[in-house]
Structure 1
Amino acid sequence: MQKNHDKLDLEERVSYIASNTSFDKNKGEGFEEVKTPGELEDGAITSGGALNLFSREAFALFCQYGAIGIIYGMIPQLMYPLFNNYLNMEGYQTASYNVLVTTGWSFKVFWGMLSDCVPIFGYRRKSWMIIGWVITLICLAIMTFVPLGAPYCDARLTDCTRPITNFTKEEVAKYFNEDASNRGSLFIMLSLFVSIGYVIADCAADAMVVQYAQREPQAIRGRIQTAIYTVRTLTSILAQIVVAFFLNGPEYGGSFGWAVGPNVPYAICLVPCVLVIFSTIFLQVEPNTKKLSFGQWCAQFWGLLQKRVMWQICAYRFIANTFQAIGATPTTPVASKWARVEPLNDSLSGVIGNLIFSGVLIVVGKYGLNWNWRYTIAAGTLGVVVVDSFVTFMTVWNVVRNQWFYTGVALADNVPGGIRFIISTYCAVEIADVGNEGATYGLVTTINNLASPVASVIYKYVDSYFAVSQKDIARDDHHVRLEVTYCFLISYACKCCSLIWLFLLPPQKTQMQELKRRGGTSKFAGGLLIFLFFCAIAFSLTSNIMAIYPSTKCYRIAGGKGTVNGTCPK
């Protein structure tokens, strides 16, 4: 089923809300002396007073998150209308796109380390914000001015729903651009570097948010986070609306009689990128700081890795989320060719889904603080499988093929998805100590983020043995439907298997704290955690990058059908 991968796992963002600011610039041990909230007026963690949300400093922060919201709301959302419909890339290639455009979040620990330990011209945050936005600007500029080429099949000229085998050679040469899918490789790689750029800036901005949040009295603490996430969510929704209405022409699989060119979305993203660079230079306020000892940072981080509570939760999150993230490569082709989902519907469902997801977070945060984590995650996971499988199989077997049914019923996925997410943030909070908040949040959420690309590699490899390519889906015969069903059954079985690992997760906060106090340490487990972390990054990036290049995309490790005498079969 078409998933809204444009939805940023909010936990990735929250992870650096606790990031990096526990390191101070000038204390003898490299860390600021931390006082308990009761030692400061109104329960504030640090002195300085709450930030005025109408001040210059607040406006500069809002600019950061406004730009992030537009770009992150736009780039992943282009997968369906642009890369699937316009360029006709295979399902395993669009699955790689979804992973690669969020790859920057898998390196949050490193971006945070740079922001903490490597000030440039005396600035730990502003300098890295500018560096990140400059990287983003360069990549967006290239994608704005380099032509993407003609669509694979222009629906303004012919019926693109017919299989290409039903056209004569002359008609194929006239109406089809069979090289279209190869044109997407450059844009996918540039989108990867766009994600790296703005995540670097985001990590530095989140660290500043922590500093402001710790100055707030206990009664209103969280106000600044609420404000920046409101800005980010609103601008993200605006970006999704742009995709919905501007990329809904026939060439993008939509019903409108007009649409903008394929480079226009990148030009739109370029505007806030330019503006935020100027706001960072002229509006962002940050005092000069001294360089933090890298050795001190490493010593604290290594100590954290050895704690059982750390590596056990990381193990749970990586293994369970790998099973949970096992998808099916025919997801996107089924949406476009069988459910006839238009870009307008796809984007609007993403907007509504974001609103539902946010509402779930508020409800669980207010009423579900003491729910049993294991039972709640199990209920949420099974809920996803029941809802998703019903809609998917009704569509696959042509019982109901309607884009509103396909996308509308699937919005219910946001309910159990929101429950699973908010509980995972509770876990990260319980693990963190004063002085290592950034390292704790960064590592836990990075391990979680790596589960998605590893899962992508696994299910692309498995699904490569089934007849579920774009051409197969277009045939829509009994054999193809059966092959697609197998792919989705494997996906749902893996999601259910993710519940097996719940024994690694303490059922509630009390048990988590008990594990933290008495769990002990292990140098071997800490070292193994580091080793597997780098292995997962290397493996997932290599496989997903191979999937988007013509010379390597047919290898099974990249999700293709394999090679014959070293060449890719047609």
Structure 2
Amino acid sequence: MKTPTKLAVLFAVIYFVQGIAEPGGGIIALPLQFLLKENMGLDATQASYFLASFTWAWTIKPLYGFVSDSLPLFGYRRKSYLVLMNVMVALSFLTLAFAVSYSYSTLLLILSAVSLGLAFSDVLCDGLMVETGKTLNLTGKFQSIQWISISIASVIAGIGGGYMAQSVSPQHSFLFITFFPLLTIATAMLFAREEKKKVSLEHLKNIFGSAKQGFWSRPLWLAAIFIFCWNFSPSFGTPMLYFMTDELHFSKMFIGTLGSIGSVGSIIGAAVFLKIGKKYGLKQLLNITVLLGVISTIWYLWLVGEKTAIAFSILGGIVSMVTLLAILDLAARSCPKMAEGTFFALLMSVYNGGAMVSKVLGGFLLQYTGLQTLIIISAVFTAFCWLLVPFIKTNDEQQETTNQ
């Protein structure tokens, strides 16, 4: 097997496992939400707080990038950390699988360890992808493989999560997930190829120099503000789950299937973006993104039954993927040279931090508003991003302006 093929398989497996195992969006997400609702008796607000609490690990991704770049483990910057992090993930799920009952604090602690391992693995995968992809001129192809892989995992996670929530105990669900990080370990051992490195003082100086330059970048800060505000809109995801269960009486299996339908829409959305991304400039894409975001939020006011739920899920999947890829494009274009990996992770941490605050804010506002009002507030927050688009510039555009 040639090196590019081995790397493609490695990247696909890491993203697939992430799509399956991530507690907030993988195959365990729906069983976990019903565990909180039915076994632990949490209401929608309390569940929103809980689900936001263990996502902190995704907000400090630049730290993982800096550690792996600067401090090789057993001589390797990526491979050794990949194995270590996925051993931790597997042991965490195994611990939950053999638990007789679950307390709030223990469940939160173990799921935080899972999120930490998966977030670190994500950064390691992206770092290896950037390094090898630039050398082989395959960065775009590798990224496409990653997102197709995680979308396929999401299709499986939706249907499988619904089945597990309805028919499988939490312990057996956690045991099933344990095998997936082992797949990452095996693939990393077989296909991760990198030269051994030693800690270098000169290399550390270069990293700090690039970081200093990046932190003074105006385009980077504007991109960070836009990305945070985009995800800052109050989330109604968990309250919507309670609404679909308690008011619309959807089964767990049907709710899981909706997630898979949305993932099929995401695959379609990726194909759509490949076409429109070449036809429009960055600011035009961002304006389209905000418009689609507002529309895809407001239409949940008309969710009344299974037919509208199916339609909204597939359309929402398309819109979500188009908007995500536009934001990833903004993040990639805004990163300063020689520090792309670290600052891409930084912007993705801002993205995840906005999502975490969004869940907390949504849970808080739900106590004082109904679900419909919360949906309208979320749409207004998203529309606010339109005011930021005129100020967005990438580093390349900023350099061109300076040189004129």
The TM-score bracket by the shorter chain reads 0.7 to 0.9
Listed one character per residue, the Cα deviations across residues 153-209 of structure 1 (whole Å, up to 9, x for unaligned) are xxxxxxxxxxxxxxxxxxxxxxxxxxxxxx454223311210111221222122222
State the match for 1:39 in structure 2.
Answer: none
State the match for 2:144 in structure 1.
Answer: 226
Distance in 2 (CA, whole Å) between partners of 1:79 and 1:435 is 41
1:290 is aligned, of 185, 188, 198, to 198
Distance in 2 (CA, whole Å) between partners of 1:314 and 1:230 is 26
Q: Is the 8 A contact 2:133 2:139 kept in 1?
A: yes
Deviation at 1:437, TM superposition (A): 0.9
2:133 is aligned, of 213, 234, 239, to 213
Helix, strand or coil: the match of 1:128? helix
State the match for 1:503 in structure 2.
Answer: 387
Listed one character per residue, the Cα deviations across residues 359-400 of structure 1 (whole Å, up to 9, x for unaligned) are 112212212431513531332123123311222xxxxxxxx4
State the match for 2:333 in structure 1.
Answer: 430
Q: Is the 8 A contact 1:148 1:262 kept in 2?
A: no
Distance in 1 (CA, whole Å) between partners of 2:237 and 2:150 is 30
Listed one character per residue, the Cα deviations across residues 538-560 of structure 1 (whole Å, up to 9, x for unaligned) are xxxxxxxxxxxxxxxxxxxxxxx
Helix, strand or coil: the match of 1:291? coil
Distance in 1 (CA, whole Å) between partners of 2:104 and 2:124 is 31
Deviation at 1:125, TM superposition (A): 0.6
Deviation at 1:69, TM superposition (A): 3.0
Listed one character per residue, the Cα deviations across residues 392-416 of structure 1 (whole Å, up to 9, x for unaligned) are xxxxxxxx4x345445434422333
Q: Is the 8 A contact 2:234 2:362 kept in 1?
A: no
Distance in 2 (CA, whole Å) between partners of 1:499 and 1:353 is 23
Distance in 2 (CA, whole Å) between partners of 1:330 and 1:508 is 33
Structure whose CA Rg is larger: 1
State the match for 1:261 in structure 2.
Answer: 169
**Identical-residue share of aligned pairs (%):** 17
Q: Is the 8 A contact 2:85 2:121 kept in 1?
A: yes
Helix, strand or coil: the match of 2:133? helix
Q: Is the 8 A contact 1:84 1:332 kept in 2?
A: no
1:441 is aligned, of 344, 354, 371, to 344
Distance in 2 (CA, whole Å) between partners of 1:190 and 1:319 is 30
Unmatched tracts of structure 1, length 5 or more: 1-49, 150-182, 249-258, 392-399, 467-482, 521-570
* CA distance 1:499–1:512, change in 2 (3 Å): farther
Deviation at 1:60, TM superposition (A): 4.4
Distance in 1 (CA, whole Å) between partners of 2:326 and 2:316 is 16
Distance in 2 (CA, whole Å) between partners of 1:328 and 1:361 is 22
Distance in 1 (CA, whole Å) between partners of 2:239 and 2:269 is 29
State the match for 1:78 in structure 2.
Answer: 31
Deviation at 1:107, TM superposition (A): 1.4
Deviation at 1:214, TM superposition (A): 1.7
Listed one character per residue, the Cα deviations across residues 407-448 of structure 1 (whole Å, up to 9, x for unaligned) are 543442233333322221221232124312112211222112
Deviation at 1:58, TM superposition (A): 4.9
Distance in 2 (CA, whole Å) between partners of 1:385 and 1:130 is 39
Establish whether residue 514 from structure 1 lines up as the match of residue 386 from structure 2. Answer: no
Q: Is the 8 A contact 2:49 2:363 kept in 1?
A: no
Helix, strand or coil: the match of 2:60? helix
State the match for 1:318 in structure 2.
Answer: 228
Distance in 2 (CA, whole Å) between partners of 1:519 and 1:462 is 44
Q: RMSD of the alignment, in Å?
A: 2.9
Q: Is the 8 A contact 1:71 1:236 kept in 2?
A: no
| Larger relative helix fraction | 2
Listed one character per residue, the Cα deviations across residues 307-351 of structure 1 (whole Å, up to 9, x for unaligned) are 1111122122223431x2443763232121111121111111111
Helix, strand or coil: the match of 1:373? helix
State the match for 1:172 in structure 2.
Answer: none
Establish whether residue 272 from structure 1 lines up as the match of residue 272 from structure 2. Answer: no
1:334 is aligned, of 243, 265, 270, to 243
